[in-house]
C-alpha cells in the first residue's frame, strides 16, 4: 500500500493532463464532440452545452494536476475526479451505448482512474487508522 501512496500522484498528474485536454472544446466544440463521440451538431444550444461540458471536464483535469502537487488536497481532488469520471461512464453505458466504441479509450482511462482512486482511498484510510 505504501507504493500506492507514494506514487498515486503520478497517476493523478497523467490523468489530469489527459483530462484537461478537453478544454479545447471551449474553442472547438464541434471538433471535441467529433473526436470524443464521432458525432456532430448544428445548433447554438449544442455548442453552448459542449463548451460548458468541455470546461467542466477540463477543470476536473486541472484539479487532478493540482491534487498531484498538493498532498493536502489530494484525497479531495482524486475523489471528486473519480466520482465525475464514474458518472460519465455510467451515463454512457445507460444512455450512450451507440457511442461506446468511439469513447472506449476515454472509458478505459476513466475506469482505471476510478479503480486506482478506490485503492488509493483504501490505502489512505488504512494508513490513518494505523
Domain positions in the chain are: 2-19+59-129
Strand ranges (E), the chain: none
The pLDDT of residue 41 = 87
Q: Does residue 42 contact residue 33 with C-beta atoms inside 8 Å?
A: no
The single residue listed with the C-alpha cell 471535441 is 32
Q: What is the pTM of this model?
A: 0.92
What pLDDT, in 10s, does the model give residues 68-100? 999 999 999 999 999 999 999 999 999 999 999
| Contact (Cβ atoms closer than 8 angstroms) between residue 80 and residue 98 | no
* Burial of 108: CB neighbours in 10 Å, binned 0-12, 13-18, 19+: exposed
Residues 6+ apart with CB under 8 A from 65: 12, 13, 16, 17, 20
Q: What is the pLDDT of residues 32-70, one digit of tens each?
A: 999 999 998 889 999 999 999 999 999 999 999 999 999
Amino acid at each position: 500500500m505504501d507504493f500506492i501512496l507514494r506514487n498515486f500522484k503520478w497517476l493523478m498528474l497523467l490523468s489530469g493532463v489527459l483530462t484537461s485536454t478537453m478544454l479545447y472544446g471551449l474553442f472547438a466544440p464541434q471538433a471535441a464532440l467529433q473526436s470524443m463521440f464521432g458525432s456532430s451538431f448544428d445548433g447554438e444550444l449544442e455548442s453552448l452545452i459542449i463548451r460548458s461540458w468541455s470546461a467542466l471536464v477540463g477543470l476536473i483535469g486541472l484539479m487532478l494536476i493540482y491534487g498531484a502537487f498538493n498532498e493536502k488536497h489530494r484525497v479531495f481532488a482524486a475523489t471528486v475526479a473519480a466520482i465525475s469520471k464514474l458518472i460519465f461512464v455510467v451515463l454512457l453505458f445507460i444512455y450512450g451505448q451507440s457511442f461506446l466504441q468511439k469513447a472506449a479509450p476515454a472509458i478505459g482511462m476513466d475506469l482505471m482512474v476510478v479503480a486506482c482512486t478506490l485503492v488509493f482511498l483504501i490505502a489512505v484510510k488504512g494508513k490513518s487508522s494505523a
